[in-house]
């Protein structure tokens, strides 16, 4: 790990204080043309000694704006400090976690996984338009049936069709023969440009798609394609638990990646990360954004610099090894839970590198599911699966009570 270090609390606070000092000080300087300010002190408690040890609260009060993308071109000089910290976050993620080469990536902290996925689709749609004169009818989004619904939202917004590829019921793996047939049919119907969303852990199962499988089949059919990896859930787990993973920027098939910081990393909501290779993000330049200093390359406009600081704080409070230990604790709990289920002969799905266990619904009575807050695959129609996620707050003592109820239910049904 070149950049992902652990800093002491003093160092964290000093860096954040420096960052905030270099954002404009609304108290002492008059920025007559900026429609920005610190939080309203008539409404919020914005001063007091309690702030001394609360760099995040101080950041929220200072209210820096990280508008724009800071890995290329110019940026608003008024908020340099929080933008620098964001650049460090993007660097750790791109280089240390996803093996990008130095300065060969772009990225920013989006509002969440939804925005980051749509940003990718937007970039590829415009890329095909610009470079191939492609029409909307010639493009298609493909992804597995377990893909997050944000992809359908993107399809609707961008007016590009989307097609779901079936997965095997038990292994949750894409059925390659189906993929092959679907691509043949799409090609016969005039589709030439493919936008692929490949999951690095689906929301419901934690299943991981193989982007090379998409690449092989699409290459065989001689169509153009770009692959985006949706690691909204798995981005902070899978590359760490599976050191042999090839789902990163060393793999030429991978062009961009989504990672949410507000899921596994427990950052405040509004912190999804978008990463891509160089020379792609320019496809979504909004030339009309003239009052902002720097290029406008993001879906969101103004966005919270304090959120970027929060992600920076989390990463550098743990460091790589601290985070590695945390993930392994969650994986140990997952193992423990799977062993209990195996003893009870309860059928479930789990990717060995992930902390999600999805149980077949036959083994879980509805009232138990409600009582323990396990999440059904669907709230409408017949539900076949329930998932349990091993997060910080899901401890073995809690899992044990759930297991006891499943055991009692087994006696009833057998
Ligand atoms: C949660 C999630 C998203 C959407 O993320 P938001 O942050 O809620 O917008 C996208 N993809 C996957 C796989 C997810 O788990």
Terminal Cα-to-Cα distance of the chain (whole angstroms): 52
Q: How many angstroms does the Cα of residue 113 sit away from the middle of ligand 1?
A: 4
Nearest CA residue ID for atom 3, ligand 1? 113
Give yes or no: residues 214 and 354 share one domain: no
Cβ within 8 Å of residue 366, ≥6 positions away: none
The parent domain of residue 118 ranges over: 104-237+245-283
Q: How many angstroms does the Cα of residue 276 sit away from the middle of ligand 1?
A: 17
Burial of 292 (0-12, 13-18, 19+ CB in 10 A): middle
Using pLDDT thresholds of 50, 70 and 90, give the confidence band for residue 279: very high
Give yes or no: residues 261 and 144 share one domain: yes
Using pLDDT thresholds of 50, 70 and 90, give the confidence band for residue 74: confident
Provide the pLDDT for residue 28.
65
Provide the pLDDT for residue 143.
98
Instruction: Name the DSSP class of 29.
Output: S
Q: In b/e form, how buried is each residue of 371-391, taking b as 16+ CB within 10 angstroms?
A: ebebebbeeeeeeebbbbbbe
Q: How many residues does the chain have?
A: 414
Q: How many angstroms does the Cα of residue 37 sit away from the middle of ligand 1?
A: 31
Using pLDDT thresholds of 50, 70 and 90, give the confidence band for residue 30: low
Q: How many angstroms does the Cα of residue 326 sit away from the middle of ligand 1?
A: 21
Give me 224's structure tokens.
């153009």
Highest averaged pLDDT of the listed ranges 13-22, 350-359, 404-413: 350-359
Average pLDDT of the chain is: 94
Cβ atoms within 10 Å of 172's Cβ, excluding its own = 23
Give yes or no: residues 188 and 327 share one domain: no
Q: How many angstroms does the Cα of residue 70 sit away from the middle of ligand 1?
A: 23
Mean pLDDT of 380-407: 95
In tens, the pLDDT along 190-201 reads 999 999 999 999
Which tops the pLDDT comparison, 46 or 400?
A: 400
| Cα distance between residue 53 and residue 275, in whole Å | 32
Please report the atom of ligand 1 found closest to the CA of residue 117. Answer: 10
Which tops the pLDDT comparison, 22 or 414?
A: 22
Give yes or no: residues 163 and 256 share one domain: yes
Using pLDDT thresholds of 50, 70 and 90, give the confidence band for residue 33: confident
Nearest CA residue ID for atom 10, ligand 1? 113
Give yes or no: residues 233 and 342 share one domain: no
Provide the pLDDT for residue 295.
83
| Cα distance between residue 178 and residue 146, in whole Å | 15
Q: How many angstroms does the Cα of residue 144 sit away from the middle of ligand 1?
A: 15
In a domain? residue 123: yes
Give yes or no: residues 254 and 335 share one domain: no
Burial of 74 (0-12, 13-18, 19+ CB in 10 A): exposed
| Cα distance between residue 323 and residue 302, in whole Å | 30
Closest CA to 358 of 168, 203, 209, 233: 203
- CA angle 286/261/270 to nearest 5° reads 55
Pocket residue to mutate for ligand 1, from 233, 261, 273, 389, most atoms within 8 A of Cβ = 233
In a domain? residue 251: yes
Among 262, 283, 304, the domain-final residue is: 283
Q: How many angstroms does the Cα of residue 353 sit away from the middle of ligand 1?
A: 19
Nearest CA residue ID for atom 12, ligand 1? 232
Q: How many angstroms does the Cα of residue 122 sit away from the middle of ligand 1?
A: 17
Provide the pLDDT for residue 291.
73
Question: How many angstroms separate the Cα of 250 from the Cα of each of 138, 218, 242, 247, 329?
Answer: 29, 20, 15, 8, 28
Give yes or no: residues 275 and 376 share one domain: no
Which protein residues touch ligand 1 with a CB less than 6 Å away? 112-114, 117, 148, 150, 202-203, 230, 232-233, 260, 272
Res 76 pLDDT > 90: no
SS3 breakdown of the chain: % helix, strand, coil, rounded to 5? 40, 15, 40
- The string of DSSP codes covering 261-304 is SSSTT-PPSS-EEEEEETTSGGGG--TT--SSSS---SSS-S-B
Please report the atom of ligand 1 found closest to the CA of residue 199. Answer: 13
In a domain? residue 22: no
Give yes or no: residues 169 and 118 share one domain: yes
**Could you tell me if 165 and 213 are in contact, meaning their C-beta atoms sit under 8 angstroms apart?**
no
By percentage, how much of the chain surpasses pLDDT 70?
Answer: 97
In a domain? residue 402: yes
Give yes or no: residues 155 and 210 share one domain: yes
| Cα distance between residue 209 and residue 118, in whole Å | 19
In tens, the pLDDT along 228-260 reads 999 999 999 999 999 999 999 999 999 999 999
Nearest CA residue ID for atom 6, ligand 1? 113
Residue with tokens 């001689």: 222
Is the whole model's pTM more than 0.85, yes or no?
yes
Cβ within 8 Å of residue 188, ≥6 positions away: none
Give alpha helix (H) positions in 92-149: 113-132
Packing angle, helices 9-21 and 55-62, rounded to 10: 10
**Could you tell me if 183 and 221 are in contact, meaning their C-beta atoms sit under 8 angstroms apart?**
yes
Give yes or no: residues 130 and 213 share one domain: yes
Mean pLDDT of 365-380: 94
Query: What domain count does the chain have?
Result: 2
In a domain? residue 29: no
Provide the pLDDT for residue 29.
65
- Partners of 358 in the beta sheet? 349, 387
In tens, the pLDDT along 96-142 reads 999 999 999 999 999 999 999 999 999 999 999 999 999 999 999 99
Q: What is the CATH number of the domain that holds 162?
A: 3.40.640.10
Give yes or no: residues 398 and 269 share one domain: no
In a domain? residue 194: yes
Please report the atom of ligand 1 found closest to the CA of residue 233. Answer: 15
Give yes or no: residues 255 and 119 share one domain: yes
In a domain? residue 24: no
Q: What is the CATH number of the domain that holds 355?
A: 3.90.1150.10
Burial of 258 (0-12, 13-18, 19+ CB in 10 A): buried
In a domain? residue 192: yes
Among 283, 306, 338, the domain-final residue is: 283
Give me 238's structure tokens.
């899978």
Give me 345's structure tokens.
């002969």
**Could you tell me if 262 and 93 are in contact, meaning their C-beta atoms sit under 8 angstroms apart?**
no
């Amino acid at each position: 790990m070149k950049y992902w270090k652990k800093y002491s609390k003093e160092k964290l606070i000093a860096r954040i204080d420096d960052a905030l000092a270099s954002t404009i000080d609304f108290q002492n300087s008059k920025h007559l043309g900026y429609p920005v300010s610190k939080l309203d002190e008539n409404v919020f408690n914005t001063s007091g000694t309690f702030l001394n040890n609360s760099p995040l609260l101080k950041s929220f009060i200072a209210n820096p704006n990280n508008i724009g993308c800071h890995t290329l071109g110019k940026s608003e000089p008024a908020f340099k400090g929080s933008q620098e910290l964001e650049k460090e976050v993007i660097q750790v993620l791109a280089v240390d976690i996803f093996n990008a080469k130095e300065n060969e990536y772009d990225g920013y902290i989006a509002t969440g996984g939804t925005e980051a996925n749509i940003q990718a689709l937007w970039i590829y749609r415009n890329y095909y338009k610009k470079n191939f004169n492609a029409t909307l009818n010639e493009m298609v989004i493909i992804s597995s049936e377990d893909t997050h619904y944000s992809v359908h939202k993107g399809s609707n917004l961008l007016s590009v069709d989307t097609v779901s590829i079936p997965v095997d019921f038990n292994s949750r793996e894409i059925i390659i023969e189906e993929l092959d047939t679907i691509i043949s049919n799409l090609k016969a119907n005039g589709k030439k440009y493919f936008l692929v969303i490949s999951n690095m852990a689906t929301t419901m199962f934690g299943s991981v798609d193989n982007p090379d499988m998409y690449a092989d089949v699409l290459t065989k059919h001689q169509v153009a394609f770009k692959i985006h990896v949706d690691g909204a859930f798995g981005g902070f787990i899978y590359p760490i638990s599976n050191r042999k993973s090839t789902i990163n920027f060393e793999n030429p098939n991978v062009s961009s990646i989504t990672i949410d910081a507000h899921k596994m990393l427990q950052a405040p909501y509004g912190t999804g990360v978008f990463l891509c290779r160089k020379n792609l993000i320019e496809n979504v330049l909004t030339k009309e954004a003239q009052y902002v200093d720097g290029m406008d390359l993001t879906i969101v406009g103004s966005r919270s610099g304090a959120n970027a600081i929060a992600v920076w704080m989390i990463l550098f409070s743990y460091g790589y090894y601290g985070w590695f230990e945390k993930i392994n604790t969650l994986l140990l709990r997952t193992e423990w839970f799977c062993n209990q289920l195996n003893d009870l002969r309860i059928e479930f799905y789990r990717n060995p590198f992930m902390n999600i266990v999805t149980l077949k619904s036959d083994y879980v009575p509805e009232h138990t599911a409600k009582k323990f807050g396990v999440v059904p695959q669907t709230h409408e129609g017949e539900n076949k699966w329930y998932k349990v996620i091993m997060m910080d707050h899901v401890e073995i003592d809690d899992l044990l009570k759930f297991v006891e109820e499943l055991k009692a239910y087994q006696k009833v049904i057998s």
